[in-house]
């Protein structure tokens, strides 16, 4: 497929599965060598060949709400800062002063300029070097030739994408999406955590519903279904639909009038290492940054599902996010960390992903092709 199904097509597919006791099935079985989760050289290739050359979401546009808003963090092992310029455009730079290499920004905030804390070299929001204290000590130095080093940035679908190295992968498969994060969605939380797990094992837990009954028997199962999913594969990306029991009421609604908000969860996987989870009242942008073969930094941005600055919409989003974060995601993290510890057992040469896990098979197939 070249694009994800629309909401009405998803609702029809879900209702058909409910009626027939079925689910979406992949074409076959994928076997992924366990060595690919443990190899340092494989991880280096994933970072350098794939992550740095793919247009990858760095943050939601909502994280840069005004001129001077910036976000600074490491992406694929590289310190990057993204900032909203005076012209309203998002720009991205390698986060290093052109004098002695110190990072010019940390965390997030709003600034009129970036000032290196080491010696005070100052760059404007467009990255140009504007001031050197005691400039006479650098005779012949050309400030215009030493801006912050830019990286490729684009902004679409409510996301800021960064491509660190060229040539960038040629991929227009996101063009078919109507939106991912809308202009009326407000960012209300962001958090970073580190986990002792390979980034791919972490990612796999998000994109299959085969585990719902055994992993989430009291949290998600009472509201959802066991092993009932709709899988969209579009380009290098995918989307898994997790319907709620209350979607059954759409059977009495004309197909063209069906609305799915609050009746299902969409989990988008944006290749290679980003997930967008659209839940009942909030949306998470989840970025998985590998720190080693057995360590991952998870960066999560949490937004309302609309409502603009309405306090009621914000309160509902916070309650929804608290339940999902404290219960469901905690259960998933416990599972993936146990898988990581099990790698050392030597029990498996491969992990086998069946026809219920087609989004994972698609991910590994795509990653293998990208590395090749």
> Contact, 133 vs 120, CB < 8 A?
yes
- Spatial distance between the Cα atoms of 341 and 352, rounded to a whole number of angstroms: 18
Angle at alpha carbon of residue 35, lines to 29 and 39, rounded to 5°: 135
Q: Is residue 33 part of a domain?
A: yes
- Spatial distance between the Cα atoms of 369 and 372, rounded to a whole number of angstroms: 5
Write the CB contacts of 217 (distance below 8 Å, at least 6 apart in sequence). none
Sign of CA dihedral 118, 74, 58, 278: negative
- Spatial distance between the Cα atoms of 352 and 349, rounded to a whole number of angstroms: 10
> Contact, 219 vs 335, CB < 8 A?
no
Q: Is residue 2 part of a domain?
A: no
Q: Is residue 1 part of a domain?
A: no
Do 217 and 335 lie in one domain? The reply is yes
Q: Is residue 133 part of a domain?
A: yes
Of 163, 182, 200, the last residue of a domain is 163
Q: Is residue 147 part of a domain?
A: yes
pLDDT at 168: 65
DSSP assignment, residue 362? Answer: H
pLDDT at 166: 80
Do 252 and 292 lie in one domain? The reply is yes
- Using CA atoms, how far residue 1 sits from 148, 231, 276, 303, in Å, is 40, 11, 19, 29
- Please provide the size of the chain in residues: 372
- Spatial distance between the Cα atoms of 208 and 212, rounded to a whole number of angstroms: 9
Contacts of residues 321-329 at CB distance under 8 Å and 24 or more positions apart, as own/partner, are: 321/189, 321/279, 321/281, 321/282, 321/284, 324/279, 324/282, 327/219, 328/216, 328/219, 328/220
Do 185 and 44 lie in one domain? The reply is yes
> Contact, 127 vs 138, CB < 8 A?
no
Domain count, the chain: 2
Of 163, 191, 214, the last residue of a domain is 163
pTM of the entire predicted model: 0.95
Q: Is residue 168 part of a domain?
A: no
Write the CB contacts of 332 (distance below 8 Å, at least 6 apart in sequence). 205, 206, 215
Do 27 and 61 lie in one domain? The reply is no
Write the CB contacts of 193 (distance below 8 Å, at least 6 apart in sequence). 297, 298, 300
Structural domain containing residue 121: 56-163
Longest dimension (CA), the chain: 79
- Looking up residue 18, the CATH number of its domain turns out to be 3.90.380.10
pLDDT one-digit tens code per residue, 139-194: 999 999 999 999 999 999 999 999 999 866 666 778 778 779 999 999 999 999 99
Do 117 and 201 lie in one domain? The reply is no
- Looking up residue 138, the CATH number of its domain turns out to be 2.102.10.10
Do 141 and 206 lie in one domain? The reply is no
Task: Please give the structure tokens belonging to residue 131.
Answer: 């001031």
Do 275 and 356 lie in one domain? The reply is yes
Q: Which of 237, 296, 314, 221 is nearest to 271 (CA)?
A: 237
- Using CA atoms, how far residue 354 sits from 52, 89, 207, 208, 351, in Å, is 30, 44, 13, 10, 10
Task: Please give the structure tokens belonging to residue 324.
Answer: 């999902």
- Backbone φ/ψ region at 107: left (φ over 0), alpha (ψ -120 to 50), beta: left
Q: Is residue 253 part of a domain?
A: yes
Do 145 and 270 lie in one domain? The reply is no
For every one of its 372 residues, what pLDDT tens digit does the chain have, with 9 covering 90 and above?
567 899 999 999 999 999 999 999 999 999 999 999 999 999 999 999 999 999 999 999 999 999 999 999 999 999 999 999 999 999 999 999 999 999 999 999 999 999 999 999 999 999 999 999 999 999 999 999 999 999 999 999 999 999 999 866 666 778 778 779 999 999 999 999 999 999 999 999 999 999 999 999 988 899 999 999 999 999 999 999 999 999 999 999 999 999 999 999 999 999 999 999 999 999 999 999 999 999 999 999 999 999 999 999 999 999 999 888 767 677 888 899 999 999 999 999 999 999 999 999 999 999 999 998
pLDDT at 173: 79
- Spatial distance between the Cα atoms of 304 and 317, rounded to a whole number of angstroms: 5
Q: Is residue 264 part of a domain?
A: yes
Do 209 and 276 lie in one domain? The reply is yes
DSSP-H helix ranges across the chain: 7-20, 35-38, 40-45, 199-204, 212-215, 311-323, 329-342, 358-371
């Amino acid at each position: 497929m070249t694009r994800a199904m629309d909401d009405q097509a998803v609702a029809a597919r879900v209702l058909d599965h409910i009626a027939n006791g079925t689910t979406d099935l992949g074409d076959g079985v994928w076997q992924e060598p366990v060595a690919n989760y443990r190899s340092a050289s494989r991880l280096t290739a994933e970072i350098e060949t794939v992550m740095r050359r793919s247009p990858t979401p760095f943050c939601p546009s909502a994280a840069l709400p005004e001129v001077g808003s910036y976000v600074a963090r490491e992406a694929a092992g590289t310190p990057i800062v993204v900032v909203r310029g005076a012209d309203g455009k998002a720009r991205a730079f390698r986060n290093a002063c052109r004098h002695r290499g110190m990072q010019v920004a940390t965390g997030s905030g709003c600034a009129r300029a970036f000032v290196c804390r080491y010696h005070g070299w100052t760059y404007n929001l467009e990255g140009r070097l504007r001031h050197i204290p005691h400039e006479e000590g650098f005779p012949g130095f050309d400030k215009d030739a030493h801006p912050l080093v830019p990286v490729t940035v684009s902004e679409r679908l409510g996301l800021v994408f960064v491509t660190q190295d060229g040539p960038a992968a040629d991929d227009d498969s996101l063009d078919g999406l109507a939106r991912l994060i809308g202009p009326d969605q407000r960012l209300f939380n962001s958090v970073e955590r580190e986990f002792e797990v390979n980034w791919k094992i972490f990612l796999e837990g998000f994109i299959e519903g085969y585990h719902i009954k055994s992993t989430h028997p009291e949290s998600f199962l009472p509201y959802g279904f066991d092993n009932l999913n709709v899988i969209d594969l579009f380009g290098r990306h995918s989307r898994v639909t997790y319907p709620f029991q209350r979607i059954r009421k759409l059977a009495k609604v004309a197909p063209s009038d069906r609305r799915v908000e609050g009746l299902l969860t969409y989990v988008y996987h944006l290749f290679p290492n980003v997930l967008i989870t659209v839940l009942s009242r909030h949306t998470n942008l989840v970025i998985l940054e590998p720190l080693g073969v057995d360590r991952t930094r998870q960066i999560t941005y949490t937004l309302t599902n609309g409502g603009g600055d309405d306090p009621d919409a914000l309160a509902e989003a916070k309650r929804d996010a608290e339940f999902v974060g404290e219960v469901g995601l905690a259960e998933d993290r416990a599972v993936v960390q146990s898988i990581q510890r099990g790698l050392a057992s030597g029990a498996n040469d491969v992990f086998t992903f069946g026809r219920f896990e087609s989004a994972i098979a698609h991910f590994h197939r795509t990653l293998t092709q990208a590395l090749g």
